[in-house]
Amino acid sequence: MTTKVQEPAAAGGKTGSGDAVASGASPALALLAGWLVPGAGHLLLGKWVRAGLLMVSIVGMFAIGIALQGKVYTPNTGEPLDMLGFAGDLGSGLLYGLARLLGWGQAPVLTAVADYGTKFIVVAGLLNVVAAVDAHSLASGRKPS
Amino acid sequence: MTISHFSAVLLFSLFTSIVFGITQRAQPKKMVRFGALCFALFVGGTIAASWAMWLIKH
């Protein structure tokens, strides 16, 4: 004589991965696009307004930094703050490459306002990293909307 | 191009608050509220620090 044991309806219970499929973009692609071009990660996910606001904010901040004659850091192994400055600048993705290509931000910083420009450029890069990680979270479903 | 120090504070606060608002909250209404809070804290904090430095000097 045997006893029938009722099995649970759902075994495993894996959840939270459906949003990545629904958005149509892989998390890695959203992260990479968001890093290279400010706002592009959100654009891939169909978040048009957020993408536009992020692009205007980050590109605007970077452009103001350049206009204020801020410094664009180059790869270096000197002062720790210079190395951190380079890491921050690198967060701007293609904007940083464009600045290096066109020779922007290479003049010496002589005024307080130019030093503000240097900070604008570094913070633009850091904010772009934050925005790219946000796009990754949206694509992976970790952030709901 | 040159701008005043206060204009630099306003621009920095505006752009940073927009990015913080969008990335740190999930609903649009909360994004606006958090962005506005960040902007107020940035500008208010700068003004408070400026007055504190003036008081220390005098």
Alpha-carbon dihedral sign for residues A27, A145, B12, A41: positive
Examine the pLDDT at A18 and tell me if it is beyond 60: no
Residue of A63, A134, A52, A133 whose CA lies nearest to A96 = A63
Q: Say yes or no: B29 contacts chain A, CB-CB below 8 A.
A: no
Residue of A20, A57, A10, A15 whose CA lies nearest to A136 = A20
CB pairs below 8 Å between A and B: how many?
58
- CA distance readout (Å), B36 to A49, A132, B13, B45: 17, 22, 10, 14
pLDDT of A5 reads 47
Q: Say yes or no: B36 contacts chain A, CB-CB below 8 A.
A: no
pLDDT of A25 reads 86
Interchain contact, B22 vs A112, CB within 8 Å: no
Among the partner residues A60, A68, A145, nearest to B15 by beta-carbon distance: A60
Radius of gyration of chain B, Cα coordinates, nearest whole angstrom: 14
Among the partner residues A57, A113, A120, nearest to B19 by beta-carbon distance: A57
Q: For chain A, first and last CA: distance in Å?
A: 54
Among the partner residues B11, B23, B26, nearest to A130 by beta-carbon distance: B23
Per-residue pLDDT band for A58 (boundaries 50, 70, 90) equals very high
pLDDT of A16 reads 41
Among the partner residues B22, B26, B27, nearest to A54 by beta-carbon distance: B22
Q: pLDDT tens digit string along B7-42?
A: 999 999 999 999 999 999 999 999 999 999 999 999
- CA distance readout (Å), A12 to A8, A9, A15, A16, A48: 10, 10, 9, 13, 36
Please give the average per-residue pLDDT across A110-127, as a whole number.
95
Helix (H, G, I), strand (E, B) or coil at B20: helix
- Closest residue in B to A126 (Cα–Cα): B16
Q: Say yes or no: B8 contacts chain A, CB-CB below 8 A.
A: yes
pLDDT of A23 reads 59
Mean pLDDT estimate for chain A = 87
Q: pLDDT tens digit string along A26-54?
A: 999 999 999 999 999 999 999 999 999 99
Q: Where are the alpha helices (DSSP H) in chain B?
A: 5-24, 28-57
3-state secondary structure chain A: CCCCCCCCCCCCCCCCCHHHHHHCCCHHHHHHHHHHCCCHHHHHCCCHHHHHHHHHHHHHHHHHHHHCCCCCCCCCCCCHHHHHHHHHHHCCCHHHHHHHHHCCCCCCCCCHHHHHHHHHHHHHHHHHHHHHHHHHHHHHCCCCC
pTM here is 0.86
Interchain contact, B3 vs A68, CB within 8 Å: yes
Per-residue pLDDT band for A110 (boundaries 50, 70, 90) equals confident
Please give the average per-residue pLDDT across A77-81, as a whole number.
90
Here the ipTM equals 0.93
Read off the DSSP letter of residue B2: -
Per-residue pLDDT band for A24 (boundaries 50, 70, 90) equals confident
